[in-house]
Amino acid sequence: METVAFNVEELRNDFPILSKKFNGKTLAYLDNAATSQKPRQVIKAICDFYEGYNANIHRGVYEIEEKATMKYERTREATSRFIGAESAEQIIFTRNTTESINLVAKTWGASNIRKGDKIVVSLLEHHSNVVPWQVLAKEKGALLEYINLKEDSTIDLDDFKEKIAGAKLLAITQASNVLGTLVPVKQMTSIAHQEGCTVLVDGAQSAPHMPVSMTDIGCDFFAFSSHKMLGPTGVGVLYGKREILDAMPPYNLGGDMISEVHKWDVTWNELPWKFEAGTSNIADVIAYYHAIEYLQRLGMERVREHEKSLTKYALKRLSEIKGLRYYGPDDIEMRGGIISFTLGDVHPHDIASILSREAIAIRSGYHCAQPLHEELSLGGTARASFYIYNTEEEVDRLAEALNEVRKVFAK
Amino acid sequence: MSDEIYKEIILDHYKNPHNFHKLKDPDFKAEDTNPLCGDHVEFSVKLQDGRVSEVGFIGRGCAISQAAASILTDLVQGKTIEELQKMEKEDLLEAMGNPDLGPVRIKCAMLSFKTLKLGLYSYLSSKSSHT
Ligand SMILES: Cc1ncc(COP(=O)(O)O)c(C=O)c1O
């Protein structure tokens, strides 16, 4: 695919919301870890589908049905290429990362995890990659262990090596949605595999922001969401190794996921449809193609470079603010474009509310990672997170507004 | 910066909360946490001749939740039990200067209201079951 120049001012024009005014000010959207904004190519694709060829897929043989099926499957192929998977049959569409992880817990987990087995996660995990394992472990009488962090907020690999011994499953994020920490999942997967341990990587915060390759990482499962990478909400991806997916029991039962149904008997459909029961989110999957195409034309290397330089600039600007403390690695090579911080004893909600009046959108609270906040003894944090369309000027606005917050709450 | 949420009265109460202490031998106590943001409040109330004679609170959290708790302690001071029962959310919001709270932040303000009301009701029901 041909690439285009990475020109932030120009690409901002593709995002209608970025030129809207809120409280008379242009939106500075710095909550990309929660969800990204959508370019008009994606928005238009949803309209085009409903206006031009809305039909159910994998069923009829009339023209618009075939077009819908073709476009839906085209997204699967693009997704497969985007994450460097072996084949498109290994890409399963779900609703989001959370559902992708739950699918694994409910099918692979239910049939492979037994009493006394060990499941290893890290302290960095989002609740989506903790709760399904916590519940499964309780149901099965298995053990759940957390890999510790080092002083510099990176994974403690010595602790990992100790805990992975004899483990059955490693479920780990590739990028923390709080600290921004990047996790060496390739290295960890290879160590885990030596122990005969299955590996699930939560790619919700990595796939949108950096090149990822399944054949390179070598993990058994990989989960991420369309909505955090310019695509629509309601589309998640689960990648799995073929032999594992083949051996797994289906998730939901009903239409589409079967090949033959008799009165008392049924045979499952082949991959990937075995895991896509019922009518899919057709419009949004079709539109998701345009998000992938958009990112590929920019080039994921350059997406990462842009975020790296913006994060570096932001860390410098934020560290100039009195009373501000940010968390996560100082080494820019070890972190993504996410910065969580506290400002003196001002509550994160108060920070976010005041910034909102300046049309600056940041997140506050636990960011669905309460175990991590407890570990760091943090009541909550404010979080700014970047994407392709963010600028140094927006970072300047953030820094100025934070100085204002400090004044409002000065005692 | 114009901030209809952070009115003077709210910042004043947040920075210098009124009745910020725990009472000894209160007639009833009530505490609660908003799990989403970790706001926490704890009230203790003394009654005399059917009126609030003394009230205190302790807590931590955002400016809205803590200012609301402080303002609420002023509001209920000297009120009869019946008046407490009749008190509405709007009474607290009005005392806070009717800040323009959205659907999320209103929960921060209502934490103390809800907590104090629940405390009152469990006090009243325990009393009625004793007599
Ligand atoms: C690391 C991580 N994992 C999982 C999720 C859950 O994603 P979703 O809400 O799309 O299921 C998120 C989203 O915030 C995340 O940051």
CATH of the domain at A350: 3.90.1150.10
Counting from 1 in the atom list of ligand 1, the atom nearest the Cα of A100 is 11
Closest CA to B65 of B33, B98, B95: B33
A102 located within any domain: yes
Q: Do residues A113 and A169 both lie within one domain?
A: yes
- SS3 state at B56: strand
State pLDDT tens for residues A185-220.
Answer: 999 999 999 999 999 999 999 999 999 999 999 999
Q: Do residues A21 and A153 both lie within one domain?
A: no
CATH of the domain at A238: 3.40.640.10
Question: What are the helix (H) ranges across chain B?
Answer: 8-15, 63-76, 81-86, 89-95, 105-130
A364 located within any domain: yes
Averaged pLDDT for residues A345-363: 94
Q: Do residues A255 and A174 both lie within one domain?
A: yes
Whether A152 contacts A329, CB under 8 Å: yes
Which tokens is B10 given? 């709210």
- Which residue of B lies nearest to A379 if distances are taken between CA atoms? B38
User: CA of B91, closest CA in chain A: separation in Å?
Assistant: 23
Whether B81 contacts B55, CB under 8 Å: no
Instruction: Print the domain residue range for B40.
Output: 3-124
The last residue of a domain, from among A297, A328, A354 = A297
* A197 is a catalytic site residue: no
Closest CA to B57 of B120, B101, B2, B115: B115
Rounded to 5 degrees, φ, ψ at A110 are: -60, -35
CATH of the domain at B58: 3.90.1010.10
Which residue puts its alpha carbon closest to atom 7 of ligand 1? Answer: A97
Averaged pLDDT for residues A1-28: 92
Q: Do residues A290 and A319 both lie within one domain?
A: no
Q: Give A172's contacts (C-beta < 8 A, 6+ positions apart).
A: A120, A121, A122, A124, A125, A129, A147, A183, A185, A188, A199, A200, A201, A202
The band of B114, judged by pLDDT with boundaries at 50, 70 and 90, is very high
- How many beta-carbon pairs under 8 angstroms link A with B? 47
pLDDT score, position B131: 57
Q: Which of B3, B11, B62 sits opposite A347 (nearest CB)?
A: B62
A97 Cβ below 6 A of ligand 1: yes
What is the rounded distance in angstroms from the CA atom of residue A111 to the CA atom of residue A167? 16
Q: What is the dihedral of CA B9, B15, B19, B21, to 10 degrees?
A: 160
Q: Do residues A246 and A392 both lie within one domain?
A: no
Whether A30 contacts A390, CB under 8 Å: yes
Averaged pLDDT for residues A90-107: 98
A56 located within any domain: yes
ipTM of the complex: 0.84
B112 located within any domain: yes
Instruction: Print the domain residue range for A18.
Output: 8-30+299-410
What is the rounded distance in angstroms from the CA atom of residue B131 to the CA atom of residue B120? 17
Whether A188 contacts A219, CB under 8 Å: no
Q: Do residues A259 and A114 both lie within one domain?
A: yes
A58 CB-contact burial (10 Å; exposed 0-12 / middle 13-18 / buried 19+): middle
B130 located within any domain: no
What is the rounded distance in angstroms from the CA atom of residue A223 to the CA atom of residue A129? 10
Q: Do residues A271 and A314 both lie within one domain?
A: no
B40 located within any domain: yes
Whether A399 contacts A196, CB under 8 Å: no
Q: Do residues A206 and A282 both lie within one domain?
A: yes
A277 located within any domain: yes
State pLDDT tens for residues A217-269.
Answer: 999 999 999 999 999 999 999 999 999 999 999 998 888 888 888 888 888 88
B96 located within any domain: yes
Tell which phi-psi region holds residue A353, choosing left (phi > 0), alpha (psi between -120 and 50) or beta.
Answer: alpha
Q: pLDDT at residue A174 above 80?
A: yes
Closest CA to A106 of A277, A232, A280, A235: A277
B129 located within any domain: no
- Rounded to a whole number of angstroms, the CA Rg of chain B reads 14
Q: Number of structural domains, chain B?
A: 1
The band of A1, judged by pLDDT with boundaries at 50, 70 and 90, is low
Q: Do residues A179 and A328 both lie within one domain?
A: no
Percent of chain B topping pLDDT 70: 96
A94 Cβ below 6 A of ligand 1: no
The last residue of a domain, from among A255, A272, A297 = A297
Chain B, 38 to 57: residues with Cβ < 8 Å from chain A are 38
Q: Do residues A387 and A284 both lie within one domain?
A: no
Closest CA to A338 of A171, A208, A244, A232: A208
State pLDDT tens for residues A36-88.
Answer: 999 999 999 999 999 999 999 987 789 999 999 999 999 999 999 999 999 99
CB contact (8 A) between residue A364 and residue B1: no
Mean pLDDT of chain A: 95
The 3-class secondary structure across chain A, one letter per residue, is CCCCCCCHHHHHCCCHHHHCEECCEECEECECCCCCCCCHHHHHHHHHHHHHHCCCCCCCCCHHHHHHHHHHHHHHHHHHHHCCCCCHHHEEEECCHHHHHHHHHHHHHHHHCCCCCEEEEECCCCHHHCHHHHHHHHHHCCEEEEECECCCCCECHHHHHHHHCCCCEEEEECECCCCCEECCHHHHHHHHHHCCCEEEEECCCCCCCCCCCHHHHCCCEEEEEHHHCCCCCCCEEEEECHHHHHHCCCCCCCCCCEEEECCCCEEECCCCHHHCCCCCCHHHHHHHHHHHHHHHHHCHHHHHHHHHHHHHHHHHHHHCCCCEEECCCCCHHHECCEEEEEECCECHHHHHHHHHHCCEECEEECCCCHHHHHHCCCCCEEEEECCCCCCHHHHHHHHHHHHHHHHHCCC
User: CA of B14, closest CA in chain A: separation in Å?
Assistant: 9
The last residue of a domain, from among A246, A273, A297 = A297
Q: Do residues A88 and A65 both lie within one domain?
A: yes
Averaged pLDDT for residues A359-372: 91
Which tokens is B68 given? 């609301």
B69 located within any domain: yes
The band of B36, judged by pLDDT with boundaries at 50, 70 and 90, is confident
Q: Number of structural domains, chain A?
A: 2
A122 Cβ below 6 A of ligand 1: no
- Per DSSP, what are the bridge partners of residue A169? A119, A198
B131 located within any domain: no
B104 located within any domain: yes
Q: Do residues A280 and A391 both lie within one domain?
A: no
pLDDT score, position A329: 96
A36 located within any domain: no
